[in-house]
Amino acid sequence: MVSDEAASIQRLIDKDQIIDLVHEYSYCVDHRLYDEVVELFTEDCVVDYGPGIAPVRSRASLREMFRHPGGGFTATSHHNANVLVTFDGADRGSVRTSVYAWHKRSDGVTPRVWGYYHDAVVRLPEGWRIAHRQLRVLGVEDWQMEMHPAVDADGE
């Protein structure tokens, strides 16, 4: 019973840290804190924003991608809701996070994306980190790039 309770507490603490991790991503991206963004990922992370861009492989490549942010956005606002964490052992988890992302281009157009981040997270000595992230999309507005669909065309 004591060990059950300790395990439950550890699970709550881990979940809390993982939820903070996905929130920190959005905060840092929106505030252009790119050095901080990439610290949220593992060194050999794979980040797949859609078939329109080759998946980024490694933290260094992710930092490079943020050096030249695509789309020429003058502002972004990423709102995470519905964060769902499931664990696969003590040190690995899967996270599904709904995101409503508003962007502003220099020409005033405001592309929007509604979708989900699907993350694999791992516990490293320094804390939980994102090892794999894929964005899957439910809908877009004024957004041209091809995206991974969250729901297949046949409705599954």
Least separation in angstroms between residue 45's CB and a second copy is 20
Minimum CB distance to a second copy smaller for 31 or for 57: 31
Phi then psi dihedrals of residue 96, to 5 deg: -115, 120
- C-alpha to C-alpha distances, 55 to 76, 85, 91, 115, 134, nearest whole angstrom: 21, 23, 24, 18, 9
Question: Residue 32, interface with a second copy (CB under 8 A)?
Answer: yes
> Which DSSP state fits 146?
-
Question: Residue 88, interface with a second copy (CB under 8 A)?
Answer: no
* CA neighbor of 133 nearest in space, from 118, 148, 147, 146: 118
Question: Residue 117, interface with a second copy (CB under 8 A)?
Answer: no
**What is the binding site for a second copy (CB under 8 A)?**
5-6, 8-9, 12-13, 15-16, 20, 23-24, 26-27, 30-32, 75-84, 96, 98, 100, 102, 104, 110, 114-116, 138-139, 141, 150-151, 155-156
